[in-house]
Structure 1
Amino acid sequence: MTDLRTWIREADDRAYSEHLAKAEEASPRAQVAEFHRPIAEARARCPVQPHSQSTLVGFEDYRKAMSVFSERPVFALIGHGETKRGFMDTEVFSSSIHNETIAQVWGETLLGMDGEQHRKYRNTIASAFRKSVLDRWERDAVVPIVEGLIDRFAGRGRADLIGEFTLLFPVYVVAEMLGLPRADVPKFTSWAADTITIFFDPRTALAASAALQTYLDAAISERRAAPGDDLISLLIEAEIEGQRLTNQEIVNFCRILLPAGAETTARSTGSLLLGLLSHPEQLEMVRADVAAGSTEVAERAIEEALRWEPPLTSVNRITTQETEVAGVPIPAGAIVECNMSGANRDPAVWPDPDRFDITRPSAQHLAFAAGPHHCLGVHLARAESRVALTTLLRRLPGLRLDPDVPRPEALGLGFRSPRTLPVIFEAS
């Protein structure tokens, strides 16, 4: 069988790339550039706003087509302390809102669970993400995939690091973790990406969800008959407190892996590269540290990029009772947006918060949320970004923004990242 790096080098992923490009072009929210300034102005007035983040940035809320958003009041928590409370106080701010929204295409998942149900389900899944398994995936999947993609353009001296690199490597990692046939990657990833259109294009989303159900059901049946060392097999075998996952629970978890894991990693890595390439002196700090055999500065850069431009701007909760935050009364049954982007640029925590600065003293950013729903894949996501960054710097001497094209910027309302990142370097 062809080794993974060689297969990645020669794989044809144009159909998936074109699929994503068309989706971005068709979505007005993907073009939103002016985001942080209006959020900061609103936060200065009050860190709790009786509006959605869409309204705060002057954009019509695309979710209004879903009745849950049109029939209930919406509040945005946009200060660091307020947003953290929204994540930590699970008695008042419930995750069950996801059962009325994204569960239409992903099914019941840990995203919409609270309390003891969430604890047991999360612990069962987490047993498949132990350190020895993560180390193996880094070695056997992340590294060869990153190297294979760079092989494609290292000899050219120029590339678009978004379209040719960051959009691709996390989806290949997820597919490899699941042990899917490599020829199936384009259709699996396209279906998974389409599920998140449920908020504005339910027909496409529901069709994609049904296709994934059929596809994953068959894959799970195959692994029950002949287990391997892939994630599906690990989930089948996982047991906590005598509890095992059902077929449907495994399907639901696998359905969220690409949008909730791969897309966020793709976007966070793109913003990391944007931040460093836009600040060459900081890029050189990372390059020098990597050349010395260390990843310490690279890891600091990853955390600063997550603070500066988190890939997902907010996560929803619903109030179980009437409450008050920062003096603002919030009724029971209200949708509450925990805005990580606003929280991560709160000047009460980070001086000059709009500045990208990898030398900042560390403080707890909320890009991965907080509390019981703190991102389950955080260690894998950080490892992927670290491998991507350090390998690019090792393989592409003189890496810098292409001076002959407009300077790229982060765009988007719900998900944010640069759409293109044209660079030049010394061909090898």
Structure 2
Amino acid sequence: MRRELMPTLGRPSVERLRSTILIPAVDEVLGSVDADIGTKDRHVVEFMSQVAVKVPYAMITRLLGLPPADAAWLRTRVLPLAGAMEFPASSSSLSMALDAKSELIDYLKETIGKRRPGDDETFLDFLVPRDQPVDEAALSFVTLFMLGATETSVAAIGKVLYAVLANDVELSALANAEYRMQVIRETLRLEPPTHTIVRYASTDLELHGVEIPRRSTLLLSLGSASRDETIFSDPDTWRPGRPDQRLLAFSAGPHTCLGAQLALAEFDMLFDRLAARFAGIQRTDAMEDVRSGLWRLRERGHVFRQPDKLHVELLRHSEQAESRTNA
């Protein structure tokens, strides 16, 4: 299925999704935040729950043709799947994941059963064609795709904002497309949302003097590899625009994340629209321990590492605040 999906999630296809999927999803979430601010010229928001979580789920519901109103329910079923991938996985977490997956598959079957001729085609129609019997294996893949398209993005979005705040980057600087992508890629290098992945040795090998028998289970640290001092100069420093911007955040080779281009476009669109809509973003007292250039972030998770909470203050453009007050 990977081979069939690659063209649909490649860069040209993703560019077309910007206007039909990404912009509506991002604008809906930021519009909701904007409405909460009302006529005030500044307002404190908890960025993780109000933005970082909502944008990926607004995106995935639109991409799959699911009701956007179901986003909150979907997350309660996706989170157990992520929990089952943490180390060490307990029997209870695995049981919860299986139950959640079963509920998601039943939900998808119900959604597929409601499809009618003439409905707009969605990515779900590509994964589960309308003219073919519903394939349980395809539905299982959809649940995995939902996990990969949401919780890794939640983590990445939070990390990018934290990097911006910790390094005193002005929100207006993110209006520059080239610099914005440098910020995103450098953050993903320094702090990938998925720190550890599992792989299996396909043959006997020796790595740095360690004998690894065939079929051994290997835990590979993307976080450590992304700070390899033999590859990156000054690897522990956040430095957008560094010459070598190779990324392992989306894995590599035959296991490269299928949605890598979609995820990068999603992050790019979010921070572009954020910079256009608001005049600035600042740390609050709840983040007083954040010092410039220092990564001191309280995170949850080992595989899917994400900020716990990010309380920030959003500043309106002066003309926006004035027009709302007059209205």
Same fold (TM over 0.5): yes
Query: What's the counterpart of residue 97 of structure 2?
Result: 205
Check conservation: 1:315, 1:338, Cα contact below 8 A.
Answer: yes
Query: What's the counterpart of residue 259 of structure 2?
Result: 377
Query: What's the counterpart of residue 142 of structure 2?
Result: 254
Structure 2 counterpart of 1:287, one-letter code: S
Q: For 2:148 and 2:177, how far apart are their aligned partners in 1?
A: 26
Query: What's the counterpart of residue 325 of structure 2?
Result: none
Does 2:208 correspond to 1:323? no
Q: For 1:128 and 1:249, how far apart are their aligned partners in 2?
A: 19
After superposition, the Cα gap between the structure-2 partners of 1:220 and 1:250, relative to the gap in structure 1 and judged at 3 Å, is farther
Q: Percent identity?
A: 25
Q: For 2:133 and 2:8, how far apart are their aligned partners in 1?
A: 12
Check conservation: 2:165, 2:283, Cα contact below 8 A.
Answer: yes
Query: What's the counterpart of residue 181 of structure 2?
Result: 299
Q: Match of 2:315, SS?
A: coil
Does 2:306 correspond to 1:417? yes
Q: For 2:149 and 2:133, how far apart are their aligned partners in 1?
A: 20
TM, length-normalised to structure 2 = 0.83
- Deviations 1:225-284 (CA, angstroms, capped at 9, x unpaired): 66532111122459xxxxx9962233122101232121111111110111111111xx23
Q: For 2:139 and 2:113, how far apart are their aligned partners in 1?
A: 11
Structure 2 counterpart of 1:211, one-letter code: E
Structure 1 runs not aligned, ≥5 long: 1-120, 239-243
- Displacement of 1:387 after TM fit? 1.0
After superposition, the Cα gap between the structure-2 partners of 1:226 and 1:184, relative to the gap in structure 1 and judged at 3 Å, is farther
- 1:24-423 alignment, distance < 5 Å: 121-131=1-11, 133-154=13-34, 155=37, 156-198=42-84, 199-200=89-90, 201-223=93-115, 228-237=120-129, 247-280=135-168, 283-284=169-170, 287-288=172-173, 290=175, 294-403=176-285, 405-407=287-289, 409-411=297-299, 412-423=301-312
Q: For 1:245 and 1:334, how far apart are their aligned partners in 2?
A: 37
Q: For 1:401 and 1:215, how far apart are their aligned partners in 2?
A: 40
After superposition, the Cα gap between the structure-2 partners of 1:364 and 1:133, relative to the gap in structure 1 and judged at 3 Å, is closer
Q: Match of 2:14, SS?
A: helix
Structure 1 counterpart of 2:279, one-letter code: P
Q: For 2:253 and 2:196, how far apart are their aligned partners in 1?
A: 15
Q: For 1:363 and 1:225, how far apart are their aligned partners in 2?
A: 46
Q: For 1:130 and 1:330, how far apart are their aligned partners in 2?
A: 35
Q: For 1:342 and 1:130, how far apart are their aligned partners in 2?
A: 28
- Displacement of 1:404 after TM fit? 5.4
Structure 2 counterpart of 1:350, one-letter code: F
- Displacement of 1:398 after TM fit? 2.5
Give the paired residue count. Answer: 298
- Deviations 1:24-73 (CA, angstroms, capped at 9, x unpaired): xxxxxxxxxxxxxxxxxxxxxxxxxxxxxxxxxxxxxxxxxxxxxxxxxx
Q: Match of 2:280, SS?
A: coil
Q: For 1:404 and 1:215, how far apart are their aligned partners in 2?
A: 39
- Displacement of 1:205 after TM fit? 1.4
After superposition, the Cα gap between the structure-2 partners of 1:401 and 1:158, relative to the gap in structure 1 and judged at 3 Å, is same
Q: For 1:344 and 1:417, how far apart are their aligned partners in 2?
A: 17
The list of structure 1 runs, each at least 4 consecutive aligned residues, that deviate by more than 6 angstroms after superposition, is none
CA RMSD of aligned residues (A): 2.5
- Displacement of 1:218 after TM fit? 2.6
Check conservation: 1:150, 1:392, Cα contact below 8 A.
Answer: yes
Structure 2 counterpart of 1:379, one-letter code: Q
Structure 2 runs not aligned, ≥5 long: 291-296, 322-327
Structure 2 counterpart of 1:185, one-letter code: A
Q: For 1:417 and 1:186, how far apart are their aligned partners in 2?
A: 18
- Displacement of 1:166 after TM fit? 0.5
